[in-house]
Structure 1
Amino acid sequence: MDTTRNAALEAWMTEHGYSSNSFADAVNRAVGRLTGRLGGLDGSSVRDWKAGRVTWPKSATRKALEDVTGLPATALGFVPRRRAPSTSNSERRGPGMKRRTLVGGIAAAAAAATAPGAAAPRRIGMSDVDRLRKRFVQIVSSDHHHGGRLGTEQQAAALADEALGLQDSGSATQRVRNSLYASAAAFRSSAMWAAIDGRRFDNAKAHMREAQALAEISGDSAIKFRIWSHAGTMYRHMGRPEDALAANDVARNLHLTRRDPLFACLGHARQAATLGLLGDTTAVQRALGCAQDAFERADPDLARPVWMTAARNGAELETLALAAYFRLGKFERAETHAHRSLTLLRPQMRRDRAINTARLATAQLGQGDCELATATAMKVPTDIATRHARVAHMLQGFGITLCATAPGSTAAQTWTEHTAAWRTIA
């Protein structure tokens, strides 16, 4: 028997992220709520629907379908069974009557479809989630390019609210709802990071609390890792190493770090950067050794979140090793990692390049090479040097150290003249 595939049902399932098995499970649960007894469908039942082999499920199943999708069975491509008309009725109807009946039926259906209140409730699907994910990529790109801007923080927070607003704008599957919560958590974590990067720590803590709650609801372990890692960085920049270590431990103990060594690499490297604050060289070296081992075990082709771009090729590991040795005052080793990081960082990651260039300059100054250090510091782009809070703070410290180390030197004079022009820009 020839059958026509149920394209409407297939399209709905694709839109809302269902496989045949997961859709059967959802309908079975809906049958259970209706009848008190779990339905007996499986993936093959759904495949029969999609293939058109079953065109009109049983009444309880149809009602369950409607509960799951929010649509009538006919809108899902199912066709009611029709009884063949009796011969006498058929004979009494002429071609004109048949046509009028058909046209009348179509008109009635159209009228019902356009009547007030007749529209099916809006379904929120994976296309809505994908749209938010594209906006998240833009937020991450803006962070890489500018970093720390209040505008980025505000935009990310607004997008988190938009993701939450979708929860109340229509019906959705649990998978879609979890994805929306994960998107909201991701945007909040970006708002948190922008606030940290701009040294707006009170804002960062408020975003952190919201992000943590959303991440727990979503169950997304990758975004949980990001949020707790950001918390560790925030406390490190606030000079609270013990709190930073505790936050990093939460991230490092997530099951995700055992499933994907690249997350473990990041966890160990960020711990090393914090341990540098405590002056514990042995602990720093141990943590960086664990990070390097994990990096070598990581699958480079595994799909990962967009915010892990710098981790994939080792740039983030080198950056964090630079931070660790920089805080230990081991400037020669810090310089080595600075050069490696600048080689690996992609050109569009201007914020990270500026930070690492500022650290490189300070590491060179720490080794007594004032001329080279000044030339390096002058490579930081003016727009970042004057508008990025962390970079400006670091370069201010560089200038103070330079003038204290070599007062009246050519290098100090050159730096003073270079920064004098910033006052008209900042």
Structure 2
Amino acid sequence: MQQNQVLQDLMQAMELTQSELADRVNRRLLTAGRRASITDRTVRYWLTGKTRWPQQAVREALEREFGCPIESLGFARPDWARPVLPEDDVHRRDFLAAAAAAALAHPTAHARVGHSDVEQLRTNLAQLVALDNQRGGHGALETGALAGAGQVMRLSRGASSGRINSRLLSLAADYLALAAWSCIDARELDRAQTHLDRAGTLAGMSGDPVVQMTVWNFVAMLAHHRKRPGEAVAAAQAAQATRACRQDPLYASLAHARTAIGHSDQLDRQAALRSLGYAEEALTRSEALPRPPWLAFYDLAELRALTAIVCGQLGEFEQSEAASHQALATIPANFRRNRAMATARLAVAQIGQGEADHACSSATAVLDLMAGDPLTGRMRTLLGDFHRNLLSVAPDTHATREWTDRARPEWSRT
């Protein structure tokens, strides 16, 4: 029998015992009107490979729990169970599975782990970041990141030196931070908190100031989405205090921008604009240096996109629209999700000024940008805000009816 190492790594990353996973799957089964039949022994059979292909109801429960296809959890579909799918469905399944599989093309788990193993794991992480840039946060991305974290922690037992072990702890924290970010983007905020708590512990143990800054950055973002502005400001200021921000102006710029968003949530205009000024000044001092793949999104265009958020929070919609246009002029095409988010904020700023026709055109452009993939949770929330404002400002216009007809099919997609 071949062990299911993928599922084992996921459980380790999520700190799930066999009993806890059994309970979670049973809850999913009960919600679906099925009998709760999973025990510790069932999970043990999955892990040892004695059960390679669970029953359909159980497979569906596992897919709902982890947010990805069953094959991405290390289970092997037998030949007799392989359906003949239309070509588009095949491509879509391959894409979803790729998010989890990218993290699992790992070095052989031999007795001693060295620098080349760490670099391979970093390459796998970069592949997941690239998927995030295109589609945004979703279950398969979270699962892939968690699988990568579990694999790193397993390999850390064979670290050849204390330095390698520290690098592995840092890398595991990076994977968990990506899992958390995927949850934030998907608006799965409780799960994001769980992943960030673990990432913060590993970041502290690693002593890596860059990953410590990474974690604080996502803590600030999570607090913003949970409407806890005081926590958002405190987390962003903690990011500013890291050695990474003191040594690299690019990190400092991003931390100041996150602080500005927290202040704007508090409607403290003076503090928000002051922090934006600090962010722009630091950005002008930054140089091209090797940095983690997740930070590739941050440049002047992204600072303009964050400025649009700050101005929108402060009710300054004309300035928010201008900043959104500036951002969209230079956000690279490969950052598809970021372009879509900036366009959605543009729509919100335009309807905030009563410009229903322009706003509906911008909102429709978001759907066009993300065509082929479901909208992320953050995007749905932002477009939901836009839609409510639109119905308040211009409920009976032709543009409103066209937008409503265009958007209706999107709300049912998952």
Q: Over residues 148-190 of structure 1, what are the superposed CA-to-partner deviations in whole Å (9 max), with x where a residue is unaligned? A: 201111110110010010012x351111111111110100000
Aligned match of 1:283 = 271
Q: Over residues 359-389 of structure 1, what are the superposed CA-to-partner deviations in whole Å (9 max), with x where a residue is unaligned? A: 1011011111110111111001354684311
For 1:171 and 1:358, how far apart are their aligned partners in 2?
A: 46
For 1:387 and 1:323, how far apart are their aligned partners in 2?
A: 19
Structural mapping, 1:312-351, within 5 Å: 313-351=299-337
For 1:423 and 1:202, how far apart are their aligned partners in 2?
A: 22
> What's the CA shift for 1:325?
0.7
For 1:422 and 1:127, how far apart are their aligned partners in 2?
A: 44
Q: 1:136 to 1:255 in 2, by over 3 A?
A: same
Q: 1:424 to 1:242 in 2, by over 3 A?
A: closer
For 2:411 and 2:304, how far apart are their aligned partners in 1?
A: 33
Aligned match of 2:126 = 137
Paired residue for 2:114, among 125, 149, 152? 125
Structural mapping, 1:10-25, within 5 Å: none
Q: Over residues 179-209 of structure 1, what are the superposed CA-to-partner deviations in whole Å (9 max), with x where a residue is unaligned? A: 1111101000000100111111110111011
> What's the CA shift for 1:404?
1.1
Paired residue for 1:307, among 257, 282, 294? 294
Paired residue for 1:357, among 343, 356, 381? 343
Choose 1 or 2 for highest CA Rg: 1
| Matched residue SS, 1:348 | coil
For 1:172 and 1:406, how far apart are their aligned partners in 2?
A: 65
Contact 2:186 / 2:377 at 8 angstroms: preserved in 1? yes
Are 1:167 and 2:156 an aligned pair? yes
Q: TM-score under structure 1 normalisation? A: 0.69
Aligned match of 2:98 = none
Q: TM-score under structure 2 normalisation? A: 0.71
Are 1:196 and 2:181 an aligned pair? no
> What's the CA shift for 1:425?
4.2
CA RMSD of superposed structures (Å): 1.5
Contact 1:124 / 1:166 at 8 angstroms: preserved in 2? yes
Q: Over residues 36-56 of structure 1, what are the superposed CA-to-partner deviations in whole Å (9 max), with x where a residue is unaligned? A: xxxxxxxxxxxxxxxxxxxxx
Are 1:214 and 2:205 an aligned pair? no
For 1:424 and 1:211, how far apart are their aligned partners in 2?
A: 33
Contact 2:170 / 2:203 at 8 angstroms: preserved in 1? yes
For 2:399, the aligned partner's letter is: A
Contact 2:152 / 2:172 at 8 angstroms: preserved in 1? yes
Aligned match of 1:410 = 398
For 2:352 and 2:251, how far apart are their aligned partners in 1?
A: 32
| Matched residue SS, 2:136 | coil
| Matched residue SS, 2:329 | helix
> What's the CA shift for 1:419?
1.5
Q: 1:423 to 1:273 in 2, by over 3 A?
A: closer
Paired residue for 1:397, among 372, 385, 410? 385
Segments of 5+ residues of structure 1 without an aligned counterpart are: 1-120
For 1:159, the aligned partner's letter is: G
For 2:318, the aligned partner's letter is: E
> What's the CA shift for 1:424?
5.8
Are 1:368 and 2:357 an aligned pair? no
Aligned match of 1:252 = 240
Contact 2:240 / 2:246 at 8 angstroms: preserved in 1? no
Contact 1:163 / 1:184 at 8 angstroms: preserved in 2? yes
> What's the CA shift for 1:316?
2.3
Contact 1:386 / 1:392 at 8 angstroms: preserved in 2? no
Aligned match of 1:226 = 214
Contact 2:145 / 2:175 at 8 angstroms: preserved in 1? yes
For 1:125, the aligned partner's letter is: G
| Matched residue SS, 1:344 | coil
Q: 1:320 to 1:408 in 2, by over 3 A?
A: same
Structural mapping, 1:2-81, within 5 Å: none
Are 1:156 and 2:145 an aligned pair? yes
Q: 1:260 to 1:409 in 2, by over 3 A?
A: same
For 1:210 and 1:124, how far apart are their aligned partners in 2?
A: 23
Q: Over residues 284-343 of structure 1, what are the superposed CA-to-partner deviations in whole Å (9 max), with x where a residue is unaligned? A: 1100111111111111x22221111122x3222112111111111101111111111112
For 1:152 and 1:128, how far apart are their aligned partners in 2?
A: 22
Contact 2:324 / 2:346 at 8 angstroms: preserved in 1? yes
For 1:408 and 1:386, how far apart are their aligned partners in 2?
A: 27
Segments of 5+ residues of structure 2 without an aligned counterpart are: 1-109
Contact 1:269 / 1:291 at 8 angstroms: preserved in 2? yes
For 1:344, the aligned partner's letter is: T
Aligned match of 1:86 = none
For 1:355 and 1:234, how far apart are their aligned partners in 2?
A: 17
For 2:319 and 2:355, how far apart are their aligned partners in 1?
A: 15
| Matched residue SS, 1:387 | coil
